[in-house]
Amino acid sequence: MSVNGTRSNTKFGTWNSANLSSIEGALTSDEHASMGGGNTVPYYNLLSFFGRFNYSYKDKYLFTAILRADGSCNFAKGHRWGYFPSVSAGWVVTEEPWMESTKGWLDFFKIRGSWGQNGNCSISNFQYNGQISLDGQYDFTYGQTNPVIAAYPQNIPNRDLTWETSEQLAIGFDSRYFRSRLGVIFDWYRKDTKDWLVTPPVMGIVGASAPSINGGAVRNSGVELSFTWNDSIGDFRYSVGLNGSYNKNNVLYINNADGIIHGEKKIISENVAKEDGFRAEPGKPIGYFLGMASEGIFQNQKQIDEYNAAGYTFMNGYEKAEPGDVIWIDQNGDGKYDEKDCVEIGNPHPDFTMGFNLSLQWKGFDFSVNGSGAFGQQVMQSYREFALRDTQNYTNNLLARYWTGEGSTNKFPRFSAGSHNNFKCNSYNSDIFIQDADYIKIRNITLGYDLKSAIKRLPFQSLRFFVTGQNLFTFTKYDGMDPEVGSGAPGYSWSSGIDTGFYPSPKVYMAGVSIKF
């Protein structure tokens, strides 16, 4: 078998760039497809050196130091190398002779601490220099059948671009008790991502695409605790695991002119957000939701009159409120509702996450359950423009949320046709779109039976029948399709928790047989 092909006239006129995609007279999309490739050939040139020093004294005192130097081709000469040291130390307390007295119940106890740095260089190639793209074209023929190449500077170079560093400090212990039936692990950590590699939007007047920058620092800190218990009673074996962690996310600084990395404005249905719907800003969690806050719904005219009498103003253009309208908060009390009244209205990061599992075995039977949960985070939900026209599609749970009369709800406004400040909110994003999204999910339940345990002469090592259900139960008050919204706004890798309608985790039922020979 052989493959060959000929095309002449490379765009660059050099042998080195004689790859198929650099051919003059651009390839048709069909030709691209038949080559099974796109137009990019990324480099992953990475050069690493590292030295490790290990020290262990009687398995009691442990010490490790690592120094690594990593060089990446993604940065300009002089900015290529990152040095990442790390040290860790451990002390197995239970190895100490003076711990003999606890041997009866404490099997193992190790205290450890570590500090270290790691690097990240995963950005697209050649961000450090100005690239001339050759993929423009224009046709200067009368017959309009011969487009020629147009070359243009496509990006703003950032020659100072260098490694992103993540620095982690952790202290904790591993321990086992009662003949190793109980295990307890605890950690406190603080992880700082410095020189964060990010591509923030750039002002249009620069006339080319935005450079990646070393854009700031983000801190995650928290504690993790996990318990496991394994034991058996006769033929019955079981294990239980439970872990939980508390985490706080906080942006430390942003390295650009206004100290903020702006997010998408129109992330909620069109026209709604005049100010960023989310952003990265020092002192706040990364990708926090920004917008107008509300304090309930006007339930009756009396409430509106009182509000009016107290000197509060309504939204510009809406001098009069009706029962069922949102009570917006004029944060600075200047009688206007504008970007100065936009505040943090939600945080996409959970404060607390947990996981659990349970497994049981008895004779040939086995049973297991595992699940997880997350608490304290919010989701910004944007399926449709909510009240423009009754002919639009929305999910029916929305109908249940509307205010329908005094006392019906204090969270969601009345239905109104046309554009209305209950939703547009002077074209700012608002907490009407924000929901708490705490959840607990049972991810997997499995029941199995191994026939081998009943019929010993089966010619297999094991013949196990099982049924499994995945994602069978979700406990949440979030009314969207799935509270576990990982994704954020398209093109903003650092945003999260924005539900623009994604494919939810499917419920799966499986039955199967596994045979071991």
Partner 1 sequence: MKKILLTLAACLFVLVSCEKIDSLLDTTNYQKEDTESYPTNEKGAERLVNSAYSTMHSLYTGSIFRINLFRRMIASDDYYGGGSTSSKETTAADRLLAPSMDEDNSPWKSYYNGLHRCNFALEAIADMDDGLFTGDNKNWFLGQAHFMRAFYLWELAERYETFPLTLSTEVENMPKASVDEIYAAIAADLVDAINLIPAKYGYSRDNNLAGRATKYAAEALMGRVWLFYTGFYKKDNMAGITKTQVISWLEDCANTSVSKFDLEDDPREIWPYTNEYSSGVAYGEDFGTYVNKENLHWVGNHSKETIWGVHFSLTGSGYNRLPEWIGMRNSAQRPDKDSYPYAAGSNGNASVNPLAVQEWYEDPDYGPTDKRFYGSIMAVKESSLRKAYASWMKDDFYVELPKFKGHDSKEIERTLFYPKKYQAVACYTDGTKSSLYNNFFHAINGSVSNNPKSGNKNDAIYIRFADVLLMLDELKETVTGMNRLRARAGLAPYDSYSFERLQKERRWELFTEGMRFNDLRRWYPETAGEIIQKNQDGGYIEFKGKPTTYQELPGRSFSQRYALTRGFWMIPQEQIGLQEGMLTQNKGFEDNDDYLFVDGDLPY
**For residues 71 and 355, which CB has a smaller minimum distance to partner 1 in the complex?**
71
Q: Which tokens sit at 337?
A: 């509702």
Cα–Cα distance measured from residue 314 to residue 294, given in angstroms and rounded to the nearest whole number: 12
Q: Which residues contact 125 (CB under 8 A, 6 or more apart)?
A: 42, 43, 73, 74
Q: Which of residues 330-389 bind partner 1 (CB under 8 A)?
A: 338, 388-389
- Contact between 282 and partner 1 per CB under 8 A: no
Q: Which of residues 46-75 bind partner 1 (CB under 8 A)?
A: 47, 49-51, 53, 55, 65, 67-69, 71-73
- What's the closest the beta carbon of residue 426 comes to partner 1, in angstroms? 8
Q: 193, 196, 189: which is closest to 167 by C-alpha?
A: 193
Give the H or E element holding residue 219: strand 216-233
Q: 484, 477, 516: which is closest to 498 by C-alpha?
A: 484
Q: Which tokens sit at 67?
A: 């120094």
Contact 463, 450 (CB under 8 A): yes
Of these, 176, 265, 349, 452, which contacts partner 1 (CB under 8 A)? 265
Provide the 3-class DSSP secondary structure of residue 112: strand
Of these, 142, 503, 509, 517, which contacts partner 1 (CB under 8 A)? 142
Q: Which tokens sit at 207?
A: 């006339």
Of these, 27, 120, 157, 359, which contacts partner 1 (CB under 8 A)? 157
What would the x/- binding string for partner 1 be over residues 225 to 244, using CB under 8 A? --------------------
Pairing of strands 61-72, 236-254: unpaired
* Count of other CB atoms within 10 angstroms of residue 263: 27
- Contact between 89 and partner 1 per CB under 8 A: no
- What's the closest the beta carbon of residue 27 comes to partner 1, in angstroms? 12
How many residues would you count in the chain? 517
- Contact between 131 and partner 1 per CB under 8 A: yes
- Contact between 202 and partner 1 per CB under 8 A: yes
Q: CB under 8 A: which stretch of 200-208, 323-331, 369-377, 448-456 binds partner 1?
A: 200-208
Total of chain residues touching partner 1, rule CB under 8 A: 84
Cα–Cα distance measured from residue 85 to residue 51, given in angstroms and rounded to the nearest whole number: 10
**For residues 209 and 301, which CB has a smaller minimum distance to partner 1 in the complex?**
209
- Contact between 154 and partner 1 per CB under 8 A: yes
Q: Which of residues 461-500 bind partner 1 (CB under 8 A)?
A: none
- Contact between 390 and partner 1 per CB under 8 A: no
- Contact between 110 and partner 1 per CB under 8 A: no
**For residues 43 and 236, which CB has a smaller minimum distance to partner 1 in the complex?**
43
- Contact between 83 and partner 1 per CB under 8 A: yes
- Contact between 503 and partner 1 per CB under 8 A: no
- Contact between 132 and partner 1 per CB under 8 A: yes
Cα–Cα distance measured from residue 178 to residue 182, given in angstroms and rounded to the nearest whole number: 6
Q: Which residues contact 454 (CB under 8 A, 6 or more apart)?
A: 364
Of these, 4, 6, 40, 393, which contacts partner 1 (CB under 8 A)? 40
Cα–Cα distance measured from residue 370 to residue 355, given in angstroms and rounded to the nearest whole number: 8
Of these, 17, 180, 301, 331, which contacts partner 1 (CB under 8 A)? 17
Provide the 3-class DSSP secondary structure of residue 53: strand
- Contact between 458 and partner 1 per CB under 8 A: no
What would the x/- binding string for partner 1 be over residues 300 to 339, using CB under 8 A? ----------------xx--------------------x-
Contact 491, 484 (CB under 8 A): no
Of these, 164, 192, 195, 275, which contacts partner 1 (CB under 8 A)? 275
- What's the closest the beta carbon of residue 279 comes to partner 1, in angstroms? 10
> Using the 8-state DSSP alphabet, how is residue 341 labeled?
G
**For residues 203 and 310, which CB has a smaller minimum distance to partner 1 in the complex?**
203
Cα–Cα distance measured from residue 169 to residue 87, given in angstroms and rounded to the nearest whole number: 10
**For residues 53 and 178, which CB has a smaller minimum distance to partner 1 in the complex?**
53
Of these, 7, 33, 34, 139, which contacts partner 1 (CB under 8 A)? 139
Q: Tell which phi-psi region holds residue 332, choosing left (phi > 0), alpha (psi between -120 and 50) or beta.
A: alpha
Which amino acid makes up residue 343? V
